[in-house]
């Protein structure tokens, strides 16, 4: 399964963030390297929320950090409003980062436990010379009382409240794009819904563009305009959120949907759509990386890496055997149908 090819990328002047042929590697000992991200490409239009989903180890968070140049990718292009971030260094990169901020997965460990909330949130105002009044504005915007919250330290707050503080800190520099790296995965379900609603409200209020990363497709589908599905460092499908849920084209996407409890979709059990464990990223399979777990795998899948191809309606898939839905249930090879529950 591949994200190779760039036909799915829109013209550069139509997007605020454009990523092409992104490669991220980490040393694995013995002179070997793990290629966590291998040729990933996508774009994000201004005001859009792009969801990135996949199971643990698929390269989602590595992609997010590479966008921030933390660290810079091994290869590839990351362009923000036409500016090539991978070519920037030092002060030039630091100044550009004001426009691209990040919310991290663990809200508690991402906050300095020794500092008061006002100092944590105000750091961006000091760095960029912004007015101190923006700290109170941001705390109020995320649902915290500046008079009481600002003087306390992170350990005095719940996980959900700490994530609100993290969001306020990210928004203080007035960014254009906010990367949300699994911002609700460490929270209780009820708190997840509150944070997701808050992010949607803030997106509209401050005209933000979001890249929302999660391993749970049930979460991603409720907040994203488009969804990109990753597996073992590659892209396998990209589609508008509703289309991806109603007419998943890639076998891996179907397996992710089947794993959602009480989804109301007429899907076979997940263990009929996917089997075994993910292969090692140090020695990934030839051809399609999903073939070792795919019920549709054939000899062509081992010999030839699929490229992203269009299915119509801004839908793209990297699979040799993906078919347009023909109105049947996925158990018969066709469209997902609601169960009525």
Confidence (pLDDT) at 40: 95
Integer Cα distance of 9 and 68 in angstroms = 20
Tokens for 331?
């158990």
Is residue 178 scored above 70 in pLDDT? yes
Interval 21-55: pLDDT, tens: 999 999 888 888 899 999 999 999 999 999 999 99
Over residues 218-241, the pLDDT tens digits come to 889 889 999 999 999 999 999 999
Q: What are the sequence ranges of the domains in the chain?
A: 1-81+213-341
- Secondary structure (3-state) at 25: strand
Of 24-33, 70-79, 94-103, 143-152, least confident by mean pLDDT is 24-33
Question: CATH number for the 1-81+213-341 domain, one of 3.40.50.1860, 3.10.20.30, 3.40.50.300, 3.20.20.70?
Answer: 3.40.50.300
- Yes or no: say if 250 and 319 are a contact pair by the CB < 8 Å rule: yes
pLDDT at 341 over 60: no
User: How far, rounded to the nearest angstrom, does the alpha carbon of residue 78 sit from its chain's CA centroid?
Assistant: 15
- Identify the residue whose tokens are 């139509």: 14
Question: Measured on CA atoms in the order 267, 269, 270, 276, is the torsion positive or negative?
Answer: negative
Measured distance CA(193)–CA(222) in Å, rounded? 10
pTM to 2 decimal places: 0.90
Both tokens of 126, joined, read 């000091």
With vertex at residue 275, the alpha carbon angle to CA 271 and CA 279, rounded to the nearest 5 degrees, is 150
pLDDT, one tens digit per residue, over 238-274 is: 999 999 998 899 999 999 998 887 666 667 777 778 8
* Residue (of 37, 74, 2, 22) closest to 281 by Cα position: 37
Stretch 147-171: mean pLDDT: 95
How far is the C-alpha of 214 from the C-alpha of 14, rounded, in Å? 25
* Mean pLDDT for all residues in the chain: 88
Identify which of 82, 6, 67, 7 has the alpha carbon closest to the alpha carbon of residue 37. Answer: 67
Average pLDDT on 302-324 reads: 89
Region 278-302 average pLDDT: 92
Please state the φ and ψ torsions of residue 100, each to the nearest 5 degrees: -135, 105
Burial class (CB in 10 A: 0-12, 13-18, 19+), 99: middle
């Amino acid at each position: 399964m591949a994200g190779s090819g760039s036909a799915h990328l829109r013209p550069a002047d139509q997007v605020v963030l454009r990523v092409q042929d992104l490669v991220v590697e980490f040393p694995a000992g013995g002179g070997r390297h793990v290629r966590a991200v291998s040729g990933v490409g996508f774009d994000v239009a201004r005001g859009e929320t792009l969801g990135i989903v996949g199971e643990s180890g698929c390269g989602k968070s590595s992609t997010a950090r590479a966008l921030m140049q933390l660290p810079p990718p091994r290869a590839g292009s990351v362009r923000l409003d036409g500016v090539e971030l991978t070519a920037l260094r030092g002060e030039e990169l630091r100044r550009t980062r004001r426009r691209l901020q990040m919310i991290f997965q663990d809200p508690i460990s991402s906050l300095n436990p020794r500092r008061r909330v006002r100092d944590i949130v105000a750091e961006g105002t000091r760095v960029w010379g912004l007015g101190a009044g923006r700290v109170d504005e941001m705390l109020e915007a995320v649902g915290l009382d500046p008079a009481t919250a600002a003087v306390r330290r992170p350990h005095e707050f719940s996980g959900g409240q700490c994530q609100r503080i993290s969001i306020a800190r990210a928004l203080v520099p007035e960014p254009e794009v906010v990367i949300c790296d699994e911002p609700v995965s460490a929270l209780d379900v009820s708190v997840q819904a509150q944070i997701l609603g808050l992010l949607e409200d803030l997106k509209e209020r401050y005209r933000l563009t979001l890249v929302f990363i999660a391993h749970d497709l049930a979460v991603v589908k409720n907040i994203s305009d488009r969804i990109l599905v990753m597996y073992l460092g590659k892209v396998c499908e990209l589609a508008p959120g509703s289309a991806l849920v109603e007419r998943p084209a890639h076998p891996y996407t179907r397996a992710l949907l089947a794993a959602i409890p009480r989804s109301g979709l007429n899907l076979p059990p997940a263990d009929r759509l996917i089997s075994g464990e993910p292969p090692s990223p140090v020695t990934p399979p030839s051809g399609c990386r999903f073939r070792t777990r795919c019920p549709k795998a054939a000899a062509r899948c081992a010999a030839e890496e699929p490229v992203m191809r269009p299915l119509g309606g801004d839908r793209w898939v990297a699979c040799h055997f993906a078919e347009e839905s023909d109105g049947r249930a996925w158990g018969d090879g066709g469209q997902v149908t609601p169960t009525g529950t």
